[in-house]
Amino acid sequence: MISFYHVTKRYPQGFDALKNVTFEIPRGDMIFLTGHSGAGKSTLLRLIAVIERSTHGKIMIDGEDVNKISRGRIPYFRRKIGFVFQSPRLLMDQSVFDNVALPLVIAGYSRRDITRRVRAALDKVSLLRKESAYPITLSGGEQQRVGIARSVVSKPTILVADEPTGNLDPKLSREIMLLFRQFNQFGVTVLIATHDITLIRQMRSRVLTLQNGSLVFSNTTDFSSTVDNGQ
């Protein structure tokens, strides 16, 4: 589903944030991306969302060569991907319902479909009763859940999250990870960047570890030792 072949990303200032990274994530997988601060996790996710373009190498996502996507195609390409950010990045002047509805409105769904799907997504993150509230009135965890509902409401094939639990307490973090796991079980390919090692250990998923822009570890089974190595 997501394949990187010898991908290098050099920022205009001349800094190589990713160096010769190669990996492959099969459809329906749930993968954690880890590494120290500044290792290049966010950069990797930005390449997937075509926010940045790679300097060298080839990136294939859902059968599309990302480097060859035209500017006009980018919006439609991005509709295949749901994003969750560290800060939820909600629209503060719009209700929870309208925030979650955004991807559907963009894609041009009918009013009836929008209502049905938004309710379903909000129900999944147990926030249905808050649908007409404004984000300001929600707690940090609730806001993050609204962001997650927004990212899955249009049923993307890929879900990308950049430190979704960055500023949440451990219990809430676990709940949110379980939520991602649920989506994964519905067939969504999930890629989560985090440096929460304990959480990764609990989740028992495959891990990609970056160090100074290079992929140092990619494992599927024995994670307790590798994560320690990655430290």
Partner 1 sequence: MRNNFHSNAVVHSKKHSFRTAANRRVDRRTATHGELIRITQWLGSGAGRYLLVILAGIEAFTRPLFAPLKRILRKWAAWHLQVIFSSIGKLAETPLTTLMTASVIGIALALPAGLYVLLENAQEISHGWEDTAQISLFLKIDKTDDDARAIARTLRKHPVLERVDVITRSQALAEYQQLSGFQTLFNALDVENPLPSVLVLYPAPAYTNLIAVQQIVEELKKRDDVEIAQFDLQWLKRLYTMMELIQRVILGLAVLLALGVLLIIGNTIRLGIQNRREEIEITKLFGATNAFIRRPFLYTGLWYGLLGGVIAWFLVSVFFGLLHGPLNRLAALYYTDFPPIFPGIDTLFILLCAGGVLGLVGSWVAVGWQLGAIEPS
Q: Answer yes or no whether residue 165 interacts with Mg ion by CB under 5 A.
A: no
Q: Rounded to whole angstroms, how far apart are CA atoms 25 and 14?
A: 29
Q: Which residues of this chain interact with partner 1, rule CB under 8 A?
A: 49, 51, 72, 75-79, 83, 89, 91, 102-103, 105-108, 110-111, 150, 154
Residue 186 interface partner, choices ligand ATP, Mg ion, partner 1, none, CB cut-off 5-8 Å depending on type: none
Gyration radius of the chain's alpha carbons: 17
Q: Answer yes or no whether residue 40 interacts with ligand ATP by CB under 6 A.
A: yes
Interacting stretch for ligand ATP, rule CB under 6 A, among 8-16, 96-104, 172-180, 220-228? Answer: 8-16
* Residues 26-65: x where in contact with Mg ion by CB under 5 A, - otherwise, as a string: ----------------x-----------------------
- The single residue listed with the structure tokens 């990870």 is 177
Residue 17 interface partner, choices partner 1, ligand ATP, Mg ion, none, CB cut-off 5-8 Å depending on type: ligand ATP
Q: Answer yes or no whether residue 130 interacts with ligand ATP by CB under 6 A.
A: no
CB 157 → ligand ATP: shortest distance, Å?
23
* Residues 43-82: x where in contact with ligand ATP by CB under 6 A, - otherwise, as a string: x---------------------------------------
Q: Answer yes or no whether residue 165 interacts with ligand ATP by CB under 6 A.
A: no
- Amino acid (1-letter code) at residue 13: Q
> Which C-beta is closer to Mg ion: that of 42 or that of 173?
42
Give the 3-state DSSP-derived string for the chain, with helices as H, strands as E and coil as C: CEEEEEEEEECCCCCEEEEEEEEEECCCCEEEEEECCCCCHHHHHHHHCCCCCCCEEEEEECCEEHHHCCCCCHHHHHCCEEEECCCCCCCCCCCHHHHHHHHHHHHCCCHHHHHHHHHHHHHHCCCHHHCCCCHHHCCHHHHHHHHHHHHHCCCCCEEEEECCCCCCCHHHHHHHHHHHHHHHHCCCEEEEECCCHHHHHHHCCEEEEEECCEEEEEECCCHHHHHHHHC
> Which C-beta is closer to partner 1: that of 49 or that of 216?
49
Q: Answer yes or no whether residue 38 interacts with ligand ATP by CB under 6 A.
A: yes
CB 196 → partner 1: shortest distance, Å?
23
Q: Site size for ligand ATP, by CB under 6 A?
A: 12
Which residues pair with residue 60 across a beta bridge?
3, 65
